[in-house]
Amino acid sequence: MASKRTHILPGFGLTLGYTLVYLGFIVLIPLGALFLRAARMSPAEFWKIAISPRALASYEVTFGSAFIAALINAAMGTLLAWVIVRYRFPGRRLLDALIDFPFALPTAVAGLTLANLFAAKGWLGRWLVPLGIEVAYAPAGIVVALIFIGLPFVVRSLQPVLEDIEGEVEEAAATLGAGRFRTFFTVILPALAPSILTGFSLAFARAIGEYGSVIFIAPKESEIASQLIWYRLEEYDYAGAVAIAVVMLVISFVLLISINGIERWASRFQR
């Protein structure tokens, strides 16, 4: 007779109960309250607020900037992960630790720092502004802030995959006459593609909900959806804030499902 398997944590029923209660208080009840508040509005009133010109403009800025930032992060994050994993050089561990810096730094501090750095008299702005390149208080500033907060997602998604790819694979390709670029695009990139897509999706989803780092560097004429929600709350327009929040919540939920699908596909691809 097989011995009964023991577990460190209590039984399934007890742990599942605690999990559902905790998840309910932290996630489900607040989200449910948001949808209940939105249900008080008529469909016509809800859609009037959700697709108003100002709301549509905020969606365009939010998703457009998030998409551009995620694309840049996908490219540069792949390069950073490659350098950290494949090369040994002084300061490598420090560089690896700095990748997680945006996670630890308050986003408001990041936005204020970026604004001062790219301002007309800042360390970088004093060189860029005379060239006609304006970052602080310009649409480009939103993209820069979103790149800053989204970069770690791409790098951390790629590092484990790069560590699992043996160097012998590249050596075998070189033995067969493949050059460096052909080896990368035909051997390495297909193995990295699922993780790049996962990192891109995570960075994109994170950028959509960003607020703190953007408000200090964004121009006044361009506002992201999070800013518009805050402005509605300051004006005591709770119905307007709830309607826009529900739209963003639904879009974020769709993105979350897509991310999970990409991760499952990536796991099957890498087996």
- Give yes or no for residue 1 having a pLDDT over 50: no
Predicted pLDDT at 74: 93
- Of 164 and 95, the one with more pLDDT: 95
pLDDT digits (tens, 9 = 90+) for 7-57: 666 667 777 888 888 888 888 888 888 888 888 888 888 899 888 998 999
pLDDT digits (tens, 9 = 90+) for 85-108: 888 888 888 988 889 888 888 888
Question: Contact at 8 Å (CB) between 214 and 227?
Answer: yes
Q: What domains can you pick out in the chain, each with its CATH number?
A: 60-222 (1.10.3720.10)
Predicted pLDDT at 179: 67
pLDDT digits (tens, 9 = 90+) for 166-185: 766 666 766 766 667 777 77
